[in-house]
Structure 1
Amino acid sequence: MPKPTIVIVHGSYHTPYIYAPFITLLQNAGYVVHCPQLPTADLKYLVPDPSHPDFDYKPGTLQQPTQAEDAAVIQSLLKTLIDYQKKEVLLIAHSSGGWTAPESSVLSLQKAARSKDDKQGGIIGLFCIAAILAMPGSSTTSNFGRKPPGTRDDEEVAVWFKLHKSNCTTVPEGVRWLFHDVPEEEAQRYQRMLTGCPFLMSEMTNADVYERLPVAYAVTLRDRVLSVEYQEMVIKDVEERGTKVERYDVEGGHEAFLSQTQRCVDAVEDFVRKLLA
């Protein structure tokens, strides 16, 4: 059967270039892949001068983008692929893409709902990699602040981002927190690609997405940003809404699609086979 088109919904601070090795292997496996730049990680919306990014500017100088605008970008692409090109689409959500991808997966774009109306194409599933999966009514920021069951009240949370005067955040030590399991030269290069991120306060409005859409989750076992316990907590959130999550364990950090690229592609392939069986 024809393979679905893949849309990668990238995480905060990221540009599509960081996903290039992952995209290349997916393309080699026969997939058409899209990974649009999202506004909340786009320097041209985050700083007055993108050529010399300085986040320590006075709050209010710029109207910072919201994650709802990210969802609008993804949904516009999905409508083109599905309504006009009749494509079947697998969404891959990384990190804060765990809010944007399900928010964008409205019922009219889901394959199961479209099939009932004799329409072709549609979203066939959601594949997550270390994703901050949001529940309806919550934001990425509120979800990220949750503590997994069993966490002590006095347990310190690692602070891996820097808050600037603009109320944007950056990741000064990206090599330590994000790219610690890739070769040093590559890690430094990816560090330079990181941008910034405003506080992501948009509340998820897509109320029943997890009851309708198949979900897979790649748990990143060496993640320094999201603990395994946190990832298991959000998997449980989805399963409590009635959807059994297909779990894949990956021996990588938050950017496992770089350090364990083939493993991530194999997991995507396995999930696709199960969806199309």
Structure 2
Amino acid sequence: MAAAQTKPTLVIVHGGWHVPESYSKLVNTLEADGYEVHIPHLPSCNDVRPPNADLESDTSLVRSYVESLVRAGRSVVALLHSYGGQVGSNALYGLGVEARAAQGLKGGVSHLIYMTAYAVPEGTAMMDKVKEFGNMDLVPIAFDISEDGSCLNRNPKMLVVGPGPDDAEIDKYLETFVRWNGNCMYQAIKHAAWREIPVSFIYTTEDMTVPFDYQKNFVEGLEKAGRKVQTFELSTGHCPNFTATEGVVNAIKATAV
């Protein structure tokens, strides 16, 4: 009798304002289904003022964290949320299963799942896309960026979470949010791990933080670069980990095999 297939290890790279606790609903569901889940806490979301960490700090942490898993022979699937797409793209190059196998090494990142996340080429910052779509006038309306560079969303209940859970649940979710280094949005990535690791994308059609048009543009860019992209579509806002947990879990199950 063949041995049962072992589930891959999941690493969630969280978004701006979020911390690992923000994903407890998703993590609990995944762990109940037998997945091992890791969420490294990005230094740019450490609530320090003035900020003392940025995209480079986040990249270094995630790369070191995932390297420790793959060196132990683990097969890792990375779920990248929002800004986490920038971090994961920048951090995970060279750690793919194929790249490591070519060096005679076991383990590696088998898949990147961009969850309404920035999936862009090298040299691109998040704000570059905002400029491309002509939406820079909306930045001060959506973001409260202080003189020290730390950033909050002005209306997270509507713009980040969106419709779904009741107000009490949303309030509890938002209590996990912290100030984030807004400078990260202006920092370009140096690497694009999606060029060498299989990719999926979870669309969120009601998203007011990373609009659906942006998301489709990301996928179009990946496909023009020759990458095949498996897509999933959820009718929800920017935090499907919280508002459409079952849909996210189903996408992971369809990918993480």
TM-score by length of 2: 0.91
CA shift digits 1:4-29 (9 cap, x unpaired): 10110000011111100001111122
Q: CA deviation at 1:40?
A: 0.8
Q: Is 2:138 the counterpart of 1:157?
A: yes
Counterpart in the other structure of 2:92: 105
Cα–Cα, structure 1 residues 255 and 154, in superposed 2: closer, same or farther, change >3 Å?
closer
Q: Is 2:108 the counterpart of 1:122?
A: yes
- Pairs within 5 Å for 1:177-188: 177-181=159-163, 182-188=165-171
Paired positions, count: 249
Q: Distance in 2 between matches of 1:202 and 1:68?
A: 9
The secondary structure found in structure 1 opposite 2:111 is: strand
Q: Distance in 1 between matches of 2:126 and 2:144?
A: 17
CA shift digits 1:16-65 (9 cap, x unpaired): 1110000111112221100011011111xx22xxxxxxxxxxxxxx4631
Q: Does the CA contact (< 8 Å) of 2:51 and 2:148 recur in 1?
A: no
Select the residue among 173, 182, 189 that pairs with 1:204: 189
Q: Distance in 2 between matches of 1:266 and 1:129?
A: 13
Select the residue among 78, 95, 104 that pairs with 1:91: 78
The secondary structure found in structure 2 opposite 1:162 is: strand
Extract unaligned runs of 5+ from structure 2.
none
Q: Distance in 1 between matches of 2:144 and 2:196?
A: 37
Q: CA deviation at 1:211?
A: 2.6
Q: Is 2:198 the counterpart of 1:214?
A: yes
Q: Distance in 1 between matches of 2:205 and 2:166?
A: 18
Select the residue among 14, 21, 25 that pairs with 2:25: 21
Counterpart in the other structure of 1:59: none
94-103 or 197-206, which deviates more: 197-206
Q: Distance in 1 between matches of 2:161 and 2:100?
A: 40
Q: CA deviation at 1:144?
A: 4.0
Q: CA deviation at 1:141?
A: 3.1
CA-based RMSD of the aligned residues comes to 1.8
Select the residue among 113, 119, 123 that pairs with 1:133: 119
Cα–Cα, structure 1 residues 73 and 18, in superposed 2: closer, same or farther, change >3 Å?
same
Counterpart in the other structure of 1:176: 158
CA shift digits 1:174-207 (9 cap, x unpaired): 1121223222101112222211222113322225
165-174 or 238-247, which deviates more: 165-174
Extract unaligned runs of 5+ from structure 1.
48-61, 148-152
Cα–Cα, structure 1 residues 120 and 155, in superposed 2: closer, same or farther, change >3 Å?
closer
Q: Does the CA contact (< 8 Å) of 1:36 and 1:74 recur in 2?
A: yes
Select the residue among 174, 179, 190 that pairs with 1:191: 174
User: Which residue identity is paired with 2:188?
Assistant: E
Q: Is 2:246 the counterpart of 1:259?
A: no
Q: Does the CA contact (< 8 Å) of 1:13 and 1:194 recur in 2?
A: yes
Cα–Cα, structure 1 residues 155 and 36, in superposed 2: closer, same or farther, change >3 Å?
closer
Select the residue among 227, 248, 251 that pairs with 1:243: 227
Provide the identity percentage.
Answer: 22
CA shift digits 1:191-231 (9 cap, x unpaired): 22211222113322225x33311110000011111211110
Q: Distance in 1 between matches of 2:9 and 2:127?
A: 30
Q: Distance in 2 between matches of 1:15 and 1:7?
A: 14
Q: Is 2:57 the counterpart of 1:69?
A: yes
TM-score by length of 1: 0.85
Q: Distance in 1 between matches of 2:236 and 2:84?
A: 18
Select the residue among 32, 35, 42 that pairs with 1:31: 35
Q: CA deviation at 1:251?
A: 1.4
Q: Distance in 1 between matches of 2:150 and 2:177?
A: 13
